[in-house]
Amino acid sequence: MTAKIVAEYYKEVKGDPGRKAVAEECERVLKGMAAIQDERVIVTTHAYLLQMPEAFLKKYTVIIDEDILQLQAFNRMNSISLECLHELAGMGFPIYSGLASELADSKEGEYRRLRAAGISEPLSEDQLEVMECFGADDNINDLVHAGSYVRMKDRETGRDSVKYFCPLKLPPMKYIILSATLNHDVYREYFRGKMDVHCYQEKKAAYKGRLLQYTYHSLGRKDLSGKLQVFSYAREIAKEQNLEIITFKMFEDREDIGRLNSAGIHFGNSTGLNSLGGKDLAVVGTPFGVDENYKLIACYLGADVNQKEDRRPHFRRVEYNGCSFLMTTYKDPLLQKVQLYSLESELEQCVGRARLLRNDCNAFVFSAFPCEQAELHTRDYLD
């Protein structure tokens, strides 16, 4: 579809002498991989890298900046209604109908891992249109890529549905990944049997700025909603009423908090942004994800996430990155690691917006999860 749109635009501009550069760029886009195959150095996005064929990639040394699992793999969650699965099961479409039948017959709340379904052509628009129940929220064509799934009530619509995780696939070859937040154990489990993972410990450079963290309160979404005075306290200790604040997106709608977010950064979109470099800022909250996302990933990695003890996360003492602390988390070691790895990655990315390595500024963190190089304050700051 993208190629069709660009091709139509190219017809409009190719005869215009004043838009020669635009026409040439359209030609390169339409050539696709052929347009860059002789380039010595290619800089691209994670998403485009994942579309490149193995034969092409093997001509290069592939260096991946930032944690590709957190940024590209662990958010590949889709869902499909139970009604749609039942109809799809009766359509007789190769692979898709069999998968739909398996998912529809599963027990509610039970997490299961799926073997690779095999290669299958996506269903066409005509095939999808004949399905009466097919809706905008139903993702059918990615079913063949699912690695784990759970039958559950949709959080937003309340309808019976199946939520599934589509693992990221990388051609087996050599990659160099540069990231201060990736978790070696999770990488090894993710690529087990496909690629070996070798880790080289980075040298930790001391912050030029200062990182102060207040850990007494957990401050997940629900907890923080009842303790909004934390935002005032953050400005008080920073001695800055216009202190930049990074927190959950849901709080941006509050005028008193939203105006303190000039860069529009919130949990989930913090990576790679530099507009707050050198400024004092506060990171407020512990960015817990939804329960089923952690479990779908851990289930795919081989964890038993159906244990009674892990039906809900509980307050536990955990050991992580050389720290011992209390956290609402899971009993299963791998499931717990998936969650803590996600929290660490998000919080460290948010702290990184101040660019403390290069700037003499302050970052204040209000979360029970301890950040690296933080000066920890454990008293009840709201008492």
Q: Which tens digit of pLDDT belongs to each residue from 131-175?
A: 777 677 788 888 889 999 999 998 878 889 999 999 988 999 999
Q: Which tens digit of pLDDT belongs to each residue from 256-288?
A: 787 888 888 899 888 877 888 999 999 999 999
Do 239 and 138 lie in one domain? The reply is no
Dig out the tokens for 323 from the structure. Answer: 């720290």
Within-domain flag for 202: no
Within-domain flag for 197: no
As for how many domains the chain has, the answer is: 3
Within-domain flag for 185: no
Report how far residue 289's alpha carbon sits from residue 75's, in angstroms, rounded to the nearest whole number: 10
Reported for 229-238, long-range contacts at CB under 8 A and 24+ positions apart, including other chains, are 229/382, 230/284, 230/366, 230/382, 231/256, 231/257, 231/260, 231/284, 233/381, 233/382, 234/282, 234/284, 234/364, 234/366, 235/260, 235/282, 237/212, 237/364, 238/280, 238/282, 238/362, 238/364
Do 214 and 319 lie in one domain? The reply is yes
Within-domain flag for 48: no
Within-domain flag for 31: yes
Within-domain flag for 41: no
CB-based burial label for 354 (10 Å; 0-12, 13-18, 19+): buried
Cα end-to-end span (Å), the chain: 58
Residue range(s) defining the domain that contains residue 149: 73-165
Reduced to 3 states (helix: H, G, I; strand: E, B; else coil), residue 77 is strand
Do 355 and 226 lie in one domain? The reply is yes
Do 227 and 364 lie in one domain? The reply is yes
Q: What is the pLDDT of residue 314?
A: 94
Q: Does residue 246 register a pLDDT over 90?
A: yes
Total number of residues shown for the chain? 383
